Amino acid sequence: MSVKEENKNPAETAVKEKKQIAAKLIPVYIMGKRYEVPEGLTIMKAMEYAGYILIRGCGCRGGTCGACGTVYRKPGDYKLQVALACQKTVEPDMYIAQIPFFPANRALYDFAGLTAAPEEVFKLYPELFRCVACNSCTKACPQGIEVMDAISALKQGNIAEAAQLSFDCIQCGLCTSRCFGELAQYHMFQLARRIYGARIVPRAEHLAEMVKAVSEGKYDRFLDELKQVNEDELKKLYQEREVEPMAAGEDWKPKDTRYL
């Protein structure tokens, strides 16, 4: 992160001033320095408004990539809070600091050689058993994941349960930043989901059939046809394509069956 040079362009300055008049400004403290920013902005936008150019700690801006972990404290509150900067809106007198990277232990492994035995996880992450069940991780999770429960499942060797409970994890690392036991929950969960996906969940037969059909050239002619159309036609085809309804039954088929 770096702070922009003061804006010397009068037109841009005028636009900025106009926006300031239109929006109520509130004071916030970013990395210890006071700024006035429009009410209603997310922490991320408030930082940019204040002049920060985010080259780390900023990715999807939609609460999905986990790049924008942030800690803040509100006036009169002893408690350090955590949030995603792209999701949490600023409040008056908030003290804000971003932690876009948290140095957590990530085990190295050759995934091809791993089985679904719980001991694999225990061996790679022995600190799993340092969990004191304080639940700080769950309270810190911006995704509402029952982090402690997922860790308990892993301790009991239930990789499937841990994978399912942690499905919405975006790897922001905020759980780890609050953990007394120094666990890297999000890396452990990633391993659990990998093992679950590759070794526990039954193979999807329809997917294997489709991969076979594609590799045998069943769709080559249609792909060649698509390659012939220009960008606008391609967009039109995409926008007008028949989409499977959300509540379609197992026997649903598109009207155009040429590609089945």
Residues interacting with ligand FES, by CB under 6 A? 58-61, 63-68, 84, 86
Q: Are strands 81-84 and 69-73 parallel, antiparallel or unpaired?
A: antiparallel
E-state strands within 68-224: 69-73, 81-84, 95-98
Contact 181, 174 (CB under 8 A): no
Residue 86 or 159: the one with the smaller Cβ distance to ligand FES is 86
Angle between helix 185-195 and 147-155 (nearest 10): 60
Residue 13 or 64: the one with the smaller Cβ distance to ligand FES is 64
- Minimum distance from residue 221 beta carbon to ligand FES (Å): 40
Q: Which long-range contacts (CB under 8 A, 24 or more apart) does 217-223 make?
A: 219/259, 222/258, 222/259
Residue 172 or 195: the one with the smaller Cβ distance to ligand FES is 172
CA 245-218-205 angle, 5° bins: 60
DSSP string, 181-196: T---HHHHHHHHHHHI
- Minimum distance from residue 47 beta carbon to ligand FES (Å): 12
- Minimum distance from residue 54 beta carbon to ligand FES (Å): 9
Partner residues linked to 3 by β-bridges: 52
Residue 67 or 128: the one with the smaller Cβ distance to ligand FES is 67
Residue 38 or 63: the one with the smaller Cβ distance to ligand FES is 63
